[in-house]
Homo-oligomer: A and B are copies of this chain.
Amino acid sequence: MANKKITSRDLDFAKWYTDVVMAAKLASYTNVKGCIAIEPNGYAIWEKMQEILDKKFKELGHVNVQMPLLIPENLMKKEGELVEGFAPEVAWVTMGGKKELEERLCIRPTSETMFSDYYATHVKSYKDLPMLYNQWCNVLRWEKETRPFLRSREFLWQEGHTIHATKEEAELETKQMMDVYKWFHHEILAIPSITGLKTEKEKFAGAEYTLTNEALMYNGVSLQAGTSHYFGQKFSKAYDIKFQNKENKEEYVYQTSWGTTTRMIGALIMVHSDDNGLVLPPKIAPRQVVIIPIGESEEVKTLSEKINKELQENNITSYIDNTDKSPGFKFAEAEVNGIPVRIEIGERDLNNGVITFARRDTGLKISVSKDIQVVSYTKELLDTIQKDMYNKALERRNNLTFTAKNLDEVKEIMANQPGFIHADWCGSSECEMKMKEINGIKSRCILKDEKLITGKCVVCEKEATDHVVWGIQY
């Protein structure tokens, strides 16, 4: 039985999406245009994401810092491509207190500028390198059309900025962090993502190249889910970040940056959720198990508390819903909030010696003996859910993955159902622009390790250089 507050996903995907965000109380609109309030249920998911990623970053030697929010215009302008890429979409502070500022300041859309300016005065010798910094913060981009989590003027993210003594080391870092994001998507978010290289047109402003993870949503639309940029010496030359190398010569550092954002909450919704609300993979769910006592008996109460205690002691995040709502209401609430497992403990069931486990992802209800080894059973069930959710997402992505040999085939696919379209490309931006004329298709990424399909560009049908994944995007 679908949640009445939620539009059917197959009827109106966009409406369904915002309905889920609101019904699960992840975020709400505010009186600040284009900016959302991230509510407790949404923020708890972000905290979990932060906890997992932050631990991984630190294991790999990164440390956290905090750079200023505001960037003086002249400092920003030092790297030409960056300012060109971001200038149309930044917010400008022009007044401090009651005074007009001599130089306006932009609110950071990204912090290459501030990190580069910092590194320029803090690195002297190869012994200081690498410097592996990351920051968790808010950034602002003056978007015209916004949608909760997916695109909003202000969003939260982490941005890693590292400098290295050699090109090789910096390129390894770029690759390594892409692998971290891929691991995070696959293992934690249960989202299969494709890793590849952005085209010149789609890469980050100022980067030598950009690696990207691309995920496919339920409706066949792509979502860029974490990028990692190799800057070479572009920023170090613009900001004068030099060091004494082992041969005692001055050299410019090699630089990277990489980031992922609160839009991953949007991806979780659009990959896994359904007409009953949020569905969360157990590894990212802030609360994994809800226990719902049915009836007032002492036995129900005692067993509920015993199970809750055992689960918590074994690092499963469980809670008992002891509110005075009806069981049906509690079921629906746990469902809309995406709690992966619901344990129902009722008098009648107990008389028959059983309790009930319900899976949020499939809706399956399982009666088990009330004397079951509840910790190991629950752990196994959570693992199964995690794996099943990944496989389901992978199957859906495979079903929405197509290949095309020419523009007619691309049009035919798009007329039917968007998705990932694999097609060869000659490398020219003219052909990229022509693809865009079809429903706004963009190159998602180049798969450098994949063989060509036909050897001919899908647009101009001349000789192709790359196997590219194409799609429409959020």
Which residues in A have some Cβ–Cβ distance to B below 8 Å? 28, 30-32, 35-40, 43-44, 46-47, 63-72, 75, 87-98, 104-105, 107, 114, 117-118, 121-122, 133, 137-138, 140, 142, 154, 156
Contacts and interface: CB of A to CB of B under 8 A. Distances in A.
A156 B66 contact: yes
A73 B452 CA distance: 56
Contact of A44 (B63, B72, B90, B121): B63
Interface centre among A36, A38, A69, A98 (most CB of B within 10 A): A69
Contacts of A75: 31-32
Given A32-B71, A87-B98, A89-B97, 4 more contacts: A32-B70, A32-B114, A69-B154, A90-B97
B118 A28 contact: yes
A67 B37 contact: yes
A221 B135 CA distance: 33
A75 B117 CA distance: 36
Contacts of A94: 92-95
Contacts of A138: 66, 69, 137-138
11 contacts: A30-B67, A31-B72, A31-B117, A32-B68, A32-B71, A43-B63, A69-B154, A88-B97, A92-B95, A93-B94, A93-B107
A389 B349 CA distance: 59
Contact of A30 (B39, B44, B118): B118
A-B pairs with the 8 shortest C-beta distances?
A35-B68, A40-B63, A92-B95, A38-B66, A96-B142, A32-B68, A97-B142, A94-B94
Number of copies: 2
Nearest to A70: B32
Contact of A68 (B44, B68, B95, B154): B154
Given A30-B117, A93-B91, A140 B65 contact: no
A65 B47 CA distance: 10
Given A117-B30, A137-B138, A65 B39 contact: yes
Contacts of A30: 67-68, 114, 117-118
A251 to B, nearest CB: 22
A133 B40 contact: yes
A87 B97 CA distance: 7
B37 A68 contact: yes
A28 B71 CA distance: 16
Contacts of A104: 95
Contacts of A70: 32, 35, 91, 140, 154
Contacts of A93: 91-94, 107
A91 B100 CA distance: 10
B64 A28 contact: no
Contacts of A97: 87-90, 142
A37 B66 contact: yes
A206 to B, nearest CB: 19
Contacts of A67: 30, 37
Contacts of A36: 68
A200 to B, nearest CB: 24
Nearest to A40: B63
A32 B75 CA distance: 9
Nearest to A38: B66
B91 A64 contact: no
A122 B31 contact: no
Contacts of A35: 68-70
Interface centre among A37, A40, A121, A137 (most CB of B within 10 A): A37
A412 to B, nearest CB: 38
A64 B71 CA distance: 28
Nearest to A36: B68
A325 B261 CA distance: 39
B98 A91 contact: no
A22 to B, nearest CB: 11
Contacts of A95: 91-92, 94, 104
B92 A65 contact: no
Nearest to A98: B88
Contacts of A122: 28
Given A30-B68, A37-B66, A96 B91 contact: yes
Nearest to A324: B127
Contacts of A63: 40, 43-44
Given A32-B72, A118-B28, A137-B138, A66 B43 contact: yes
